[in-house]
Structure 1
Amino acid sequence: MKINSITIVLLIFVSSNFHSCNGQKKSEQKQTKTETLEIGKSASELHTKIWRIFQDSKGKYWFGSDGKGIYHFDGNELKQFTTVDGLVNDSIRGIQEDIDGNIYIETHKGISKFDGRKFTTLKVIRSSHNQWKLEPNDLWFGFYNANDLYRYDGDSLYELKLPRQDLKKAFGIDTLISPFNRNNPYSVYGVNKDKDGNIWFGTFVAGAFRYDGKSFLWFDEKELSTLPDGRVPAVRSIIQDKDGYFWLSNFKSKYKIEASGSAYEKLKGIEKDHPHYFNSGLSDNKGNLWMATYSGGVSKYDGKTLSKFEIISEIEDILLVSIYQDKNGILWLGTDNDGVYKQNGDKFEKFKVKNKSGR
């Protein structure tokens, strides 16, 4: 009887453990199944047209393409997100992050917010009252539906209009004729903040604006609008150097803001052969200016000398769209025809994603 009792107890114990393990396996299988249902798909390489590069607060990289959605790289795996996953459009024009770690992806058709799990499209508030404010945590967007620009305060996305100017008097532009009757002259192509927290807007052909939270300063220089030969470079990038001067998408001139903030002085920039304009620029951790031109390579300006940097490539002409500096001080280049390039010392090399196995 004693042996039978022990046997029964052992059977109950084994059965209990079996069911427990079995339940654990089912739970693990369910969990694994849930993880495989996450949005996005694994990718082995980046698209050739990468226009935007961004590193988030967690150290992960985002690569915005022109037509193939956005890529996320965590150091081990590359994932691609498109409209299939809820992205509003696959042509990416900007990437930002708010103080809570949400990622905002700017496209031609709207702005998507990614909270780590899903994409939602921000709804635009159009009001007769211009909701102009300048708060430190606000996000600003251009390139959207050919309207002027948009301000997001964490709750609402406000459509804003820049103060209208006499463009015909300043630039000789008749907004009633082509192409200006089809394209908004005030469409914002570049948004940057200066060291004092003022925000700058570069437009399609209406020059540039500086907003200090109370008033606007308009830069009505011909080189910031249509050029004599008919080209329209637009003001795509606004950078401030270590001496406080501002460079508005071109090497030719720099600007000094007067103490009152209500006027500016135009000064001679860098003597340089064509092209005079840059697509994207930044001031690095040491105060050097970097300018990336569409077909003219990338240059560094230390305040005295303009130096051109080598791009190691298998194709002849690299078309540069953007330049970005990550948290480690490394510079990255986004291109229109050959993916992404990463700084390696005094040159730039093609960035290739390695999968988990390191191959």
Structure 2
Amino acid sequence: MKYLHVLTFMAMVIFGTACNGSVEKELPKEKSSESNILPDEYPKLLRTIGHPRFGSINCGLQDKEGNLWFGTTSEGLYKYDGKSFRQFLIADGLNSNDVTSIMEDKEGNIWIGGEAGFCFFDGKTFSKISIPLPKNLPPNDNPPYSKSKWVFDIMQVKSGKIWFATIDGVFIYDGKSFTHFIVNEGAPGYVSTNNNVERMLEDKEGNIWLGGRTNTGVYRYDGKSLVHVIIEELRPIHYDPDRLNYDWAWPQLQDKNGNIWFSNWGGAYRYDGKSYTSFSEKDGLSGIVTRIIEDTRGNLWFGGDGISHFDGKSFTRFTTKDGLIDQGVWSILEDKAGNLWIGTRETGLYLYDGKTFINYTEEYKR
């Protein structure tokens, strides 16, 4: 049963010193991007290699230069400069066409995590890096993923160190070497016995929050000790009525008021430093919550089974009637102009300008 849930998730979404065995490849000229520009009112993200009914836009960011980046399942990485989309694949230097996480560091390098581990992009070339695993690390005995190097989340903390949540556990990179950070040792794990963390968050006080689907609650690391925090169980109303309540949590963000937000398949939690308040479908959420962001006006947006907006008092749901055709949301990004970019199943990309949802994904073509 555990493997069944793993396969379902991957169908939906889805290291030593610096560069051990690093491979660099000069990128081809931008000729490929022009072939993805279609004569339409808006430029379109064009799916080229995956199946039209499989895959998601899993993550996104806006870099210091204003470019938008989107990581996908099977379609690689897309860069949007405001005029056109360019697709990067293994042939362009990526180590995998399955991208689950993306982060820009303080120097402007783009770190990309996915099925084959991670690499980083310095603006010219992709560099592939491997994490050297501890000799005493138990082998991954989950057959579908025994050879995978999945990276689920990448985060640079205030000290400049980079944290990686991977299929082999959590690792910290200080610019020279990797340190294995053990969380919930001996737990069953998700896609491997070593994988107990999928999402991470650093709060304003410097605490590191870590969460994954095989844990109860979340873990908080204050720089000295790791504390296990238990949270209230939530149960979705319509998603999986026969399943037990969900008591795990993904750390998502800390809002402007200092509250820390978490999510799972049953809804969301708000932690004010003293107590946890839960929110679910009965409060107006759409159900499953995969992503939470706060916009520049202080409003919160919840993605999962569609999109829900929270103004601090009540939730507003957006459905297909509002123009969001695919309700399976995995990624939400606010750009510097205040627009929301929403990534969904079937590699769907939508822009919400405050009034209208605009579809930026072209229909699949072979």
Q: TM exceeds 0.5? A: yes
> Using the alignment, how far apart are the partners of 2:129 and 2:160 within structure 1?
17
Aligned partner of 1:240 in structure 2 is 254
Counterparts of 1:111-126 in structure 2, within 5 Å, are 111-126=118-133
Give the drift of 1:87.
1.0
1:251-266 map, 5 Å:
251=267, 253-258=269-274, 265-266=275-276
Deviates more, 1:154-163 or 1:86-95: 154-163
| Contact 1:52 1:63 (C-alpha < 8 Å) held by counterparts | yes
CA distance in 2: counterparts of 1:181 and 1:350, whole angstroms = 34
Q: Does residue 346 of the first structure (1) align with residue 337 of the second (2)?
A: no
Q: Write the mapping of 1:86-165 to structure 2, written as runs, cut at 5 A.
A: 86-127=93-134, 135-142=158-165, 144=166, 146-164=167-185
User: Is residue 209 of structure 1 aligned with residue 225 of structure 2?
Assistant: no
How big is each residue's C-alpha offset from its partner over 1:101-136, in whole Å with a ceiling of 9 and x where there is no partner? 111111022001111221111221434899xx9653
CA distance in 2, matches of 1:51, 1:97: 16
* Equivalent residue in structure 2 for 1:284, among 283, 295, 310: 295
Partner of 1:309: 318
1:160 & 1:284 partners in 2: Cα distance? Answer: 32
Structure 1 residue ranges without an equivalent (≥5): 1-34, 168-174, 259-264, 354-359
Instruction: Give the length in aligned residue pairs.
Output: 295
1:214 Cα deviation after fit: 2.0
- Two-structure CA RMSD over aligned residues (Å): 3.5
The answer to whether the 8 Å contact 2:295/2:334 transfers is yes
Query: What code does the residue aligned with 2:271 have?
Result: Y
The higher radius of gyration belongs to 1
One of 280, 283, 293 as aligned partner of 1:272: 283
Q: Which structure ranks higher in relative contact order (CA pairs < 8 Å, sequence separation ≥ 6)?
A: 2
1:328 is matched with which residue: 333, 337, 343?
Answer: 337
Find the aligned partners of 2:316 and 2:284 in 1 and give their Cα distance.
13
Taking the TM superposition and a 5 Å limit, the aligned residue runs for 1:38-117 are: 38=29, 41-42=32-33, 43-44=36-37, 45-47=45-47, 49-117=56-124
Q: Distance in 1 between matches of 2:173 and 2:309?
A: 33
Q: Structure 1 pair 315/346, CA: closer, same or farther in 2 (3 Å)?
A: closer
CA distance in 2 between counterparts of 1:183 and 1:232 reads: 20
Q: How does 1:143-222 map to 2 (within 5 A)?
A: 144=166, 146-164=167-185, 175=188, 183-184=192-193, 186-206=195-215, 207-221=217-231
- 1:318-349 CA distances to partner (integer Å, 9 max, x unpaired)? 31111112223221111112521111123422
TM-score by length of 2: 0.69
Change (3 A) 1:181 1:312: closer
The structural deviation recorded for 1:89 is: 0.9
User: What amino acid is aligned across from residue 150 of structure 1 in structure 2?
Assistant: F
Task: Classify 1:233/1:349 alpha carbon distance in 2 versus 1 (closer, same or farther; 3 Å).
Answer: farther
Shift of 1:41: 3.0
Given the superposition, is the C-alpha separation of residues 192 and 129 from structure 1 closer, same or farther in structure 2, using an over 3 Å criterion? farther
Say whether the 8 Å CA contact 2:199–2:210 is kept in structure 1: yes
Distance 1:78 1:155, change over 3 A: farther
Q: Equivalent residue of 1:257, what SS?
A: coil
| Alpha-carbon distance in structure 2 between the residues aligned to 1:104 and 1:40 | 24
Query: How far apart, in 1, do the equivalents of 2:184 and 2:27 lie?
Result: 50
Q: Secondary structure at the match of 1:141?
A: strand
Higher helix share: 1
Cα deviation digits, residues 179-206 of structure 1 (max 9, x gap): x586337432212222333222121221
TM-score after normalising by structure 1: 0.70
Partners of 2:169 and 2:197 within 8 A in 1: yes
